[in-house]
Amino acid sequence: MPSAIYLASNSPRRRDLLRQMGVRFEVLLFRAGHRCDEDVDESPLPGESPDVYVQRVAAAKVAGGIERVLLRGLPRKPVLSADTTLAVDGEIIGKPEDARHAIDILKRLSGRDHRVLTSVAVTDGERTEQALSASLVRFGPLSDEAIRRYVATGEPLDKAGAYGIQGRAGMFVEHIEGSYTGIMGLPLYETGQLLALFDIPPCSALGAHVS
């Protein structure tokens, strides 16, 4: 059966979560070289709040996705994208630049609450629908040694806030309020609600890739 949507994301976690929902999808891969796709600038704007930032970036990603569909002459179907960020004291915390930066972020999260924000956007080229999932996460106190061991695994380096709740960092989490899958990067409830607006029900087949 053909896929129901395109996924404009390289995140393996989002792929797994769509499969969990039973949604058939194709990954809309970026092209490199002389035909390369323009990437989204994820730099926060001056004075931009975390809530506004994450929604703006998700909207830009899904707009770039549908543009790639049209430019490549691919079959028309909705495009889904998402963006996740952390907020501590109102400050946007993205992916760490390197291991040292990851250590600094985790030290800041140790023993306190932070917010995890994931915005999901879906477009068919004519209309765009968007939803925001906001969750509260509390880490227990983390020793310097525990942080160093975790960072040495390499797991935090490609994740907003320098951790993945579904991985080894799950043992750091003392309490959550909100959406576990939203913290992972794709809130299933909100995603299902958005897809329903485009008459896309859960299906049974798995995803594939398109170039």
Q: Which residues are catalytic?
A: 83
* Structure-block tokens of residue 23: 């949604």
> How large is the angle between the packed helices 12-21 and 188-197, nearest 10 degrees?
70
Separation CA 50–CA 71 (nearest Å):
32
How far is it between the farthest Cα atoms of the chain? Answer: 53
Residue with tokens 């430019």: 71
Residue with tokens 């170039």: 211
Residues 6 or more apart whose CB falls under 8 angstroms from that of 186 comprise 11, 13, 14, 17, 18, 82, 118, 120
Reported as half-sphere exposure (CB side, CA atoms, 13 A), residue 86 has a value of 22
Residue 56 is which amino acid? Answer: R
Q: Check if the beta carbon of residue 105 is closer than 8 Å to that of residue 93.
A: yes
